[in-house]
Amino acid sequence: MTDDISREPLARAVLAKLARSRGPNDPLGSLAHTVLSGEADLRTAASMSWHGTALHAEFAEAMARRDAMSPEERAELERQARLLHNAGDLAFPDSDGTAGPDRPEEGRPR
């Protein structure tokens, strides 16, 4: 693992997904664009008030959803996270939980 977590495959996959799905006018989309473009590292980008406030709110909501899950649902979520981690930043789990290696990041060759 590197000192900069945003260089790790799972973090890059999450950032790429946020950048594509949220866009630059959304605080989390903007955070992702800022980090992926190299304008700022993840810590610096998260410390910007617009980004940090949105990140805190989304994290709190995600933790509440996770805490409300059954053990089976939580196990499935963890399985999908492992798929994403193992696939690196080129693939994202499909809605059925299978990895989608045929879907590279935008702008990258297949």
| 78 within a domain of the structure (yes/no) | yes
| Cα–Cα distance for residue pair 26/83, rounded to 1 Å | 27
DSSP annotation of 89 reads G
Mean pLDDT of the chain: 80
Kindly state whether residue 79 falls inside one of the protein's structural domains.
Answer: yes
Output the CA torsion 62→33→43→67 (10° steps): 10
Q: Is residue 109 part of a domain?
A: no
Mean pLDDT within 7-26: 88
CB 81 within 8 A of CB 97: no
Q: Give the bridge partners for 93, in sequence order.
A: 99
Question: What's the predicted TM-score (pTM) here?
Answer: 0.64
d(CA 59, CA 75): 19
pLDDT single digits (tens) 34-45:
999 999 999 999
Q: How many domains does the chain have?
A: 1
Residue 107 lies in a domain: no
User: Is residue 102 assigned to a domain?
Assistant: no
Could you tell me if residue 71 is inside a domain?
yes
Residue 3: what pLDDT?
64
Domain span at 70:
5-90
Which residues does residue 99 pair with via DSSP β-bridges, in sequence order? 93
Are the C-beta atoms of residues 24 and 30 closer than 8 Å to each other? yes
